[in-house]
Amino acid sequence: MGIESKYIWMDGKLVESENATVPFLSTALHYGLGVFEGIRCYNTNRGPAVFRLKEHMDRLVNSAKILGFNSLPYTSAELAEAAKETIRANGFKACYIRPLIYHHNRSSLGLNLDGGEARVGIAVWEWGRYLGDESIEKGVRANVSSFTRHHPNIAMTKAKITGNYANSVLAKTESVRLGFDEAIMLDPQGYVAECSGENIFVVRHGIIYTTQTAVILEGITRDALISLAKDLGYTVVEQLISRDQLYIADEVFVCGTAAEVVPVTEIDFRQIGDGVMEPVTRQIQQAFMAVISGSHPRSAEWLEYVNN
């Protein structure tokens, strides 16, 4: 399964995927001046449905605002419609959705955002779980990265800015080369921040902990899992988490649109719990799976049906 699709939506119209190109002299390519989203569409009894489409498109527009775009050619609601149109055109039942707003300046490769324009593309393709289809049952092995997560006044951590992701690529590549599946990154003060592409949760003595939002991406899956955990009667505490609190946790799990809900069974060669998926993680994962299949009470709130 590659990143193939028949059509990509480019600046208001669907084009054949091979024609969805960006000029070489684009500031987006040279300086990482783009903002993007990762969204999933799931196959349900009522046809394809997108998980929290509005929240994702709102975050995209906010990312553009954070980067400094003063105006965009499309609203969040128009982008949501365009995403659904792209899914329908490609005929996918379940897929990953990648909208990207990028900066392009026809007359300059200077570093000032003003003077250029915002261009928009939306691609969709069929994509299995990011950390492997078996990861959601078997779990993954992680290391604490030698790379620090962004300082919030160096790279804007609430924005999915393309350039920010060089930091994630450094960490992820190092982890995989070391034989791990994913990197856990510490913030500039040394507290746990997030993974290269997921947020992180710790369970200890029946309480669920997750990091505060100040230095992390405000994950939409994270937000959903907090609600689901509270629905299940758990206390969820957002607080600073240290590296050694990971080591002595009863359970650790990570979550994101691409990865979904994945147990972490080992960190830095230390087994977490019994080294298997533990009960709290399982319960939350099952609730999430029910939501995305359309069979959970919260499905109505969080799923947007593509063919309606």
Q: How far is the CB of 23 from ligand PMP (least distance, A)?
A: 26
Nearer CB in complex with ligand PMP: 14/35: 35
Say how far residue 294 (Cα) sits from the centre of its chain.
Answer: 21
Spatial contact of 251 and 265, defined as CB atoms under 8 Å apart: no
Q: Which of 204, 202, 207 shows the shortest CA–CA distance to 184?
A: 202
Q: Cβ–Cβ contacts within 10 Å for residue 37, how many?
A: 24
DSSP secondary structure of 124-193: EE----TT-TTHHHH-EEEEE-SSPPPPTTTS-TTS-BGGGHHHHHHHHHHHHHHT-SEEEEE-TTSSEE
- Verify binding: residue 63, ligand PMP, rule CB under 6 A: no
**DSSP SS3 for 274:** coil
Q: How far is the CB of 256 from ligand PMP (least distance, A)?
A: 3
- List all residues 6 or more positions away from 3 whose beta carbon is below 8 Å from its beta carbon: 123, 125, 127
Q: Which of 82, 22, 85, 87 shows the shortest CA–CA distance to 57?
A: 82
DSSP 213: S
Q: How far is the CB of 282 from ligand PMP (least distance, A)?
A: 19
Residues 206-235: x where in contact with ligand PMP by CB under 6 A, - otherwise, as a string:
-----------x-xxxx-------------
Q: How far is the CB of 200 from ligand PMP (least distance, A)?
A: 9
Nearer CB in complex with ligand PMP: 14/57: 57
Near ligand PMP by CB under 6 A, which window of 17-25, 71-79, 103-111, 192-200? 192-200
Q: How far is the CB of 169 from ligand PMP (least distance, A)?
A: 11
**Beta strands 251-256; 13-16: pairing state:** unpaired
Measure the CA–CA gap between 303 and 199, rounded to whole angstroms. Answer: 21
- Verify binding: residue 260, ligand PMP, rule CB under 6 A: no
Nearer CB in complex with ligand PMP: 14/246: 246
Nearer CB in complex with ligand PMP: 14/159: 159
Inter-CA distances, 54 with 25, 34, 255, Å: 32, 20, 19
Q: How far is the CB of 53 from ligand PMP (least distance, A)?
A: 12
CA angle 73, 4, 140 (to 5 degrees): 100
Say how far residue 2 (Cα) sits from the centre of its chain.
Answer: 19
Q: Which of 307, 269, 280 shows the shortest CA–CA distance to 93?
A: 307
Residues 15-44: x where in contact with ligand PMP by CB under 6 A, - otherwise, as a string:
-----------------------x------
Nearer CB in complex with ligand PMP: 198/251: 198
- Verify binding: residue 99, ligand PMP, rule CB under 6 A: no
- Verify binding: residue 172, ligand PMP, rule CB under 6 A: no
Q: How far is the CB of 181 from ligand PMP (least distance, A)?
A: 15
Select the residue interacting with ligand PMP from 58, 181, 182, 194 (CB under 6 A). 194
Nearer CB in complex with ligand PMP: 14/254: 254
- Verify binding: residue 98, ligand PMP, rule CB under 6 A: no
- State yes or no: is 172 an active-site residue: no
Nearer CB in complex with ligand PMP: 14/225: 225
Q: Which of 6, 13, 93, 160 is catalytic?
A: 160
Catalytic residues: 160
- Which residues of this protein are in contact with ligand PMP, per CB under 6 A? 38, 168, 194, 197-199, 217, 219-222, 256-257
